[in-house]
Structures are given as structure tokens and as C-alpha cells.
Structure 1
Amino acid sequence: MATMWIVDRDHSEVKFKVKYLGISSLTGCFNDFSGVVLAGENFSSAHTWFEVNVCSIFTNNERRDAHLKSPDFFDVARHPVISFCSDVLKIQHDNRFELNGDLLIKDNVMPITLSVTYAGTTTDPWGNTKAGFEVRGLLNKKQCGLKWNATTGAGARVVSEDVILSINMQLLKQSEQNAAKVSRIDNRLS
């Protein structure tokens, strides 16, 4: 039977990085997200569901955040959520995995492959079982429907096409009493 793990948002982060003006990088994050992983022993045969509230985007600049929420980019009024769903986790080597799934941004569903490093499992001071992962990926913003761009006087793009994803994820193992939830979520992911 699969074990259900939920994302511990207080100990996780979802970040992205893009080149700006071709000379530096800008980093941003999403502060509101949730997720569930259903997995066998050692996270084999994992089913993963993850969702981001796009309104929670933060780049340390209110004007830029407002622009990213506008129809030029994410259009949060019409597309408030980014989601990811996967049932393919391939072991690459020891604690490294390849996670293949579908990413939904706006009305665009695209396959994406993420590199996952398993950092281990431990028990916190309150008796909860936690597992840690680092997830990395690369996507093309234009393929995601984020087409806005401009060029500088020198001809450089204001925002690069490539977006680097960096997710540090801590999962919290759920108790046996959640078996019914596992079954419902497993059916949803199938």
C-alpha cells in the first residue's frame, strides 16, 4: 500500500530564476503552494501532485510582481493556479531520480522532466517523519504561454526565454488514519 506524504510548506520553497537584460539573474518565488506524494517504500512508484497559487509570486518588487500577475505573463485573473502531476519517477543513481510529468501553466500543458535529489528521511523533535528533496528543472517561458518580452537598445532581451526552477521540498509522512485519503487521492491521480 502506498504511503501518503504532504508538502510541509513551512519547510519548503519554490523558486525560479531568469536572466534579466542578458547581464544578471533575477530570482523569485511562490509563497503559497501545496502537494501530495503517494509512494511505495523508498519512494518507488510515486504519484505526485503539486499546485502553486500564482498570486503568491514574490520578486521583491511590487510593480514587477503586478506585471507578472497581469495578462502579459500569468494572467492570474483567468489562470490562478500552476499545477504539476506525475506518476513516473525513475531512479537514476543512488539518491538521484528523474521525475517526468505534466506541467499546466495558463492553458498550456507541457511535459517536463525534473531532476530530483533525495536528501534522506528523519524524525523531527515532535515525532513526525520527514523526507527531504531538492528538485531542479528548466522550462521555456514562451512554451508556457508567457510570451511578453522587450529588447534593450543594444538588442538584448529584457527577460530570457529559459526559466530555472529550484524547489527545496520537505514532505511530512501521514499517519495510517489517512488511508481513506490516500485511496481518494490515488484515484484522482490515476
Structure 2
Amino acid sequence: MATTKWAIDPTHSEIGFKVKHMMFTNVSGKFENYDATITTDGDNFENASISFSADVNSVDTRNADRDNHLKSADFFDAENHPKLTFKASSFTKVDDDNYELSGDLSLRGVTKFVKLPVEFSGLMKDPWGNTKAGLNISGKISRKDWGLNWNSALEAGGVLVSDDVRLNIELQLVKQ
């Protein structure tokens, strides 16, 4: 079967995350600059080969001070670790609409194995004849697993930033 290459359509995709702030509200962020290499056997995504990288300096939480703090050594340490990378070890079909994505997430010089649920939205041709595929990747990781330990205690108890980071990755892929 022919190998198919896919590219991320950046105008219809978002690499997002949410972190609980002050124990009760979520702060959302995303990475503006990223790249991926995705290959499949024909149009079958099972066992797809996936590698991804994001430019840490492109983090955007709609607040320049917070973004600069995230880029600092307290969090991402962008100066020494400018890229966040993911290399899939498996992409396994659970049922018609769901997959499980497993692989190594490298951040701040630390690599850890992660397993994330993926909703496959299917294949569709756009009005210009391009074949598109939709993938929604969710899941939760603990930022402390990658050495992102900075926090601040709150006077009323609890902490400023939760350990859990919820991933919200919406990908529209274009067949090359």
C-alpha cells in the first residue's frame, strides 16, 4: 500500500492547553508555531507514524507577562530548551472514532512516555478537492513530571497553579 504524507493545516488547527489557576478557574494557552511529520498506509491512520515539535517561544496565553514567565527557567526554560517534541511509538485504533496515541513527550530536557486519547473525525474532501482528516487529542499530564515545579502558595490555602495540564489539540490534516 502507498505511504501517504499528511501536513497540519495551521489555519484550522490549534495546539492548546489549560491549567487551573488559583484552584478554581482555567487559563488557556496555545503554541503558535509548530510542525509535524505524519505518514499513514494509504488513508488508514492505524499505526500512523507521527512526530511533532512546537516552538516554546511561541506560547500564547493572551498575557505577555505570563507568557514571559512561562518561557523563563521557572517553567519551559526556552533559552536552553526551545522546542517541545513528541514522537509516537503507537497509534492504535480503539473503535471507528477513537484511537490511543502513545509516545515520548520531551519538554525542558526531560522525556516521558504519555498515552493520550484521540477522537478521529474522519476523512473529507474540501471544496478545492483536498483530502482532510480531523484528529482531536485530549488528555491530562502533570507538569511536574517534566520539572515544571514553580508554584506559589495562596493565603487561603492551595496553590496558584495546578499540577495538571489538560491538553486540547485540534488538528486538521491535509493529504500531501
Q: TM-score range by the shorter chain?
A: over 0.9
| 1:38 is aligned to 2:39 | yes
Give TM-score scaled by structure 1 length: 0.89
Rounded to whole Å, the distance in 2 between the matches of 1:23 and 1:73 is 21
Rounded to whole Å, the distance in 2 between the matches of 1:134 and 1:79 is 26
Shift of 1:87: 3.2
Rounded to whole Å, the distance in 2 between the matches of 1:51 and 1:32 is 9
- Structure 2's unaligned 5+ residue stretches are none
Kept in 2, the 8 Å contact 1:46–1:87? The answer is no
Tell me the matched-pair count: 174
Equivalent residue number for residue 108 of structure 1: 110
Equivalent residue number for residue 132 of structure 1: 134
SS of alignment partner, residue 78 of structure 2: coil
Kept in 2, the 8 Å contact 1:149–1:157? The answer is yes
Equivalent residue number for residue 12 of structure 1: 13
Rounded to whole Å, the distance in 2 between the matches of 1:137 and 1:35 is 19
SS of alignment partner, residue 43 of structure 1: strand
Shift of 1:135: 0.5
Identity %: 40
Q: CA RMSD in A?
A: 1.0
- Structure 1's unaligned 5+ residue stretches are 175-190
Give TM-score scaled by structure 2 length: 0.96
Higher helix proportion, which one? 1
Equivalent residue number for residue 153 of structure 2: 151
Shift of 1:115: 0.6
Higher strand proportion, which one? 2
Matches for 1:61-76 after TM superposition, within 5 Å: 61-76=63-78
